[in-house]
Amino acid sequence: MSDVMIQTTDLHRSYRIGRKSIEVLHGIDLQIHRGEKVFLCGPSGAGKTTLLYTLAGLEHPEKGSVHIDGTDIYALGRRAQASFRNQRIGYVFQNYHLLPELTALENVAVPGAISGKDSTELALKALARVGLADRTDHLPAELSGGEQQRVAIARAIVNEPKVLFADEPTGNLDSRNSAEIMGILLDLASEHGVTLVVVTHDQNLAKIGDRTLIIKDGAIHEPMERRYPTAGSMESQ
């Protein structure tokens, strides 16, 4: 089994503004290793979120490929791609994206319902893993920002994905809650061998990962130091 979990080849992504086309990703080649915790940093507008969305199968590139665990996700049909995302990928958004009319438990159970299974027990387990076993019946409006993000993390991990993407997961939180949320994400990744990819504007925060990638002008600039997980550390996960 290859130790490469995510691989991109010549990845291009652009947007049209009126008659003008603006290329956001310029031929990105990238490898992220199995169990690695990678932080994507860069100035506003550099393409961090666009790259994350494209890696996660949420935005189709104009050119290039994205392989996750050996599968070329954009070669899949629409239904197969949706199923792959549901079963193999978790995503945590900055603004939580919880359904306001559903309880915490019901929100977390949504990915299971999409795949046609009763995931109540898995949802209870996921909420317990993020420290919210006592908040299952609360609506999002009854939860703090930090608690809502914990629910969002529980929802992202309920199907036990192999890859977890997080887009500025602490962007709307104070420093205490930010530290707690990052601790939860890192612990979950380490305990279950999940590959974690996080977008953040905070380069100091990014230093706690295995590797930091700087995105600037649609290209990746990698610091000289690389902290890939060792085989022993990955086996212990």
**In which region does residue 128 sit, left (phi positive, over 0), alpha (psi from -120 to 50) or beta (all else)?**
alpha
pLDDT of residue 130: 95
What is the per-residue pLDDT across 141-160, written as a single tens digit (0 to 9) for each? Answer: 999 999 999 999 999 999 99
**Lowest-pLDDT range of 59-73, 113-127, 183-197:** 113-127
pLDDT of residue 237: 38
Kindly report the average pLDDT of the chain as a whole number. Answer: 89
Q: H helices of the chain, where?
A: 48-55, 78-88, 104-114, 120-129, 145-157, 175-192, 203-206, 231-236
CA-based end-to-end distance of the chain: 16
d(C-alpha 10, C-alpha 204), whole Å: 29
Domains along the chain with CATH numbers = 4-236 (3.40.50.300)
Percent of the chain with pLDDT over 90: 72
Whether residue 65 has pLDDT greater than 80: yes
User: Which residue has better confidence, 70 or 203?
Assistant: 70
> Which CA distances in Å does 194 have to 32, 161, 182?
12, 7, 14
Quick one: which H or E segment has residue 28? strand 20-33
**Cβ proximity of 218 and 46 under 8 Å:** yes
Q: Is the C-alpha dihedral spanning 46, 47, 49, 51 positive or negative?
A: negative
Looking up tokens 């919880």 gives 98
pLDDT of residue 223: 67
Question: What's 59's DSSP letter?
Answer: S
d(C-alpha 202, C-alpha 100), whole Å: 29
Whether residue 138 has pLDDT greater than 90: yes
Q: Is the C-alpha dihedral spanning 189, 28, 215, 81 positive or negative?
A: negative
pLDDT of residue 42: 87
Whether residue 16 has pLDDT greater than 70: yes
